[in-house]
Structure 1
């Protein structure tokens, strides 16, 4: 079993195997890997007759085998691509288990002209390829690519490559900011990049463009998290934080959102002391009335001193998260615990 980064290095060297299983949560990342094999072996033509795609949720073993046995047309190789091959799941129905059994017996006798590629998606982040008995059995016969989250450098490089493929330049600072702000899911990443390119046509991408276009899908979660911090219900706050991490697995994104939330509350707290009203905050923060009303209500739960202290905790946690070798989830939990020590 190899990870995605090892797989990419092998493809760059031209070391292509006769069969693959891809698995993970990020379907777009998986498809990118599969497309790199197709590109290297039979070319990029979408209508290529040597590319056979099979729906893994509707297929049977005979369909897969017949596709593998058919000779390629005017080519040395053909690719049989079985997508969403749910028969590879540990817990499957009888029909799926039968397909798996036949596949297990068949793959060692694949024709030399066939490259068989299958993938299936994890149900959630708790699922692990190395815990799947079917995958572990096939790992002796097929190259299994575990498409887990990329390391930071590889993640940023892949995002940079997407911009390059679309002939759009982005500065290093803006690239880093975009990488930290966007959700770690390449389907979402590609859509957000398309939005940025369309919006900034004819000019360079700026940080303000990223802030404007990338929606903060976790605003309600962050609001709830701050509410629990205000009520000093830290255990419940930890549960909320784990739920947010489960959705995005982006510690930097969460801490930056949390920090911005407390900064808004601090601005509002100062403004209220100066006699400002809701419409002033609407203009100042460029937010709709109902959002400003919610923020004003939430600001009443903290003192000015508390907000200042919690912002400092967020800044320190952000610095720690950028350091290698630290348990990022533990750092986030320590932040929540330390909010209890901030004096009013």
Structure 2
């Protein structure tokens, strides 16, 4: 198993293997590395004719085998890219077990003319590489795509501003990186917003404060995830951390209720076969955020979500109309969500 740094070094040396599995929480970073692999392996002239993309959620044996076995056209190599390869995770239904079995033999003996690339996205920051992928590490190159941190993140974000022909001071750059959610798609969106907001002038710390979204949203996602796992003690621990950091209890409650309402609407939409692209347009959220919400909504029934929303509303009324200890009432609410 290797990381991004080793993969980039290998690509720069044009040391390209026949099969890759990439996994991590930041889809934009993963796609960037895949593009680097493709651009190094196939000339621009032949690229369109020698890249086959397959949705892993719909992968069929015939389509996959045909894609792998067909020879490249006016090129030594072709790329078969399987995105949303969730059949590489550990918990599988029968359909995904079949998909894994179909791909396993090719992962272990990829044809010389083919560069086979699989990738899937972690649902949250606690997810680890699956045991299936770890066992395949001897047969292909497994790349764990971790979030960028420290100087690597500062350099990457600095390049985003540079490519958009906007200067940002070192102090402001560090402050921006330290306060934005560490996800390259979100960062790219926030960079664009900040540039548009400060058109014709230098970026200040106040501009960054004005434009960045509420940073605790990721913690609320994790808190609700603990509820879905029936681990109220962890959810309470995270809530207490937010309060200790200075978050207002009523704001935390409001954000928890908003999350449950989002999940309820997502769950309803999925029953109507809505996709992440449709949710993205309707909710005005990035597609990858919608995909994460879809994943989290699967952990609840509609009845459970409705009950959680009612619990939040009832707790809000209690907190506003009584002198009871707010923190205790919040803890009781969280416990009730898993009963």
Does the TM-score normalized on the shorter chain lie above 0.5? yes
Match of 1:157 in 2: 155
Match of 1:240 in 2: 239
Q: Number of aligned pairs?
A: 240
- Structure (1 or 2) with the larger CA radius of gyration: 1
Match of 1:124 in 2: 124
Q: Structure 1 unaligned runs (5+)?
A: 223-234, 245-253, 262-296, 298-344
So what's the TM-score if we normalise by structure 1? 0.61
**Cα distance, 1:111 vs. partner?**
2.3
For 1:111-190, what aligned pairs fall within 5 Å after superposition?
A: 111-129=111-129, 132-190=130-188
Match of 2:110 in 1: 110
2: distance between equivalents of 1:38 and 1:163?
25
Distance 1:260 1:47, change over 3 A: same
Post-superposition CA distance 1:34-88 (Å, at most 9, x none) = 1221222225689712111111101123212211222222222221111001111
Distance 1:43 1:217, change over 3 A: farther
For 1:18-37, what aligned pairs fall within 5 Å after superposition?
A: 18-37=18-37
Pick the aligned partner of 2:205 from 204, 207, 226.
Answer: 207
Distance 1:99 1:193, change over 3 A: same
* RMSD of equivalent CA atoms: 3.3
Distance 1:47 1:9, change over 3 A: closer
**Cα distance, 1:201 vs. partner?**
3.2
Decide whether the 8 Å contact of 2:179 with 2:215 is kept in 1.
Answer: no
2: distance between equivalents of 1:42 and 1:216?
42
Decide whether the 8 Å contact of 1:38 with 1:44 is kept in 2.
Answer: no
Per mean C-alpha deviation after superposition, the further-off stretch among 4-13 and 85-94 is 4-13
3-state SS in 2 of match to 1:196:
helix
Q: Structure 2 unaligned runs (5+)?
A: 221-233, 249-319, 321-339
2: distance between equivalents of 1:126 and 1:7?
23
Decide whether the 8 Å contact of 2:46 with 2:74 is kept in 1.
Answer: no
**Cα distance, 1:236 vs. partner?**
8.0
So what's the TM-score if we normalise by structure 2? 0.62
